[in-house]
Amino acid sequence: MTTLMPSQDLESDARVKAVFDDIRATRKTDFINNMWRWLAFDPALLERTWTEVKEVVGKPSSIDPLTKEMIYVAVSVANNCTYCIHSHTAAARAKGMTEEQYGELLAIIGLAGKTNQLATALQVPVDPVFDAGRQGGPGA
């Protein structure tokens, strides 16, 4: 159940309207999804979040758009965010994720969750060769 209801006329606020117009233009759609509608209760938060999404997820980079969406799905599963699981699974499918890839993604998420929990429960020490902060380790 939601903790607040968005205003009936969100776009009466010029800042909200500007963000919504940018979402429409960037995504080439008239659809403004609930995440943005709910964030509009605080125009500054809406602006900051949309700007960050465009910069991190929307901007071309060395990670392709489908992989970004699949990472978002995995993190959303780990954080138990139903909304983001659904929205980013839909986005990944729109970017070409196949059912085979989705099945593999879920297998990886499940395995990572299991091995993470086992390593946490056992308090397995990090091997020096894996410790990126140590002199001479990978990435050093």
**Contact between residue 83 and residue 34 where contact means Cβ atoms under 8 Å apart:** yes
pLDDT-flagged residues of the chain (< 70): 135-140
Residue type, 109: I
pLDDT at 138: 55
pLDDT at 134: 77
Predicted TM-score of the model (pTM) = 0.87
**Contact between residue 46 and residue 7 where contact means Cβ atoms under 8 Å apart:** no
Q: Is 11 helix (H, G, I), strand (E, B) or coil?
A: helix
DSSP 57: I
Q: Tokens 């309207």 label which residue?
A: 17
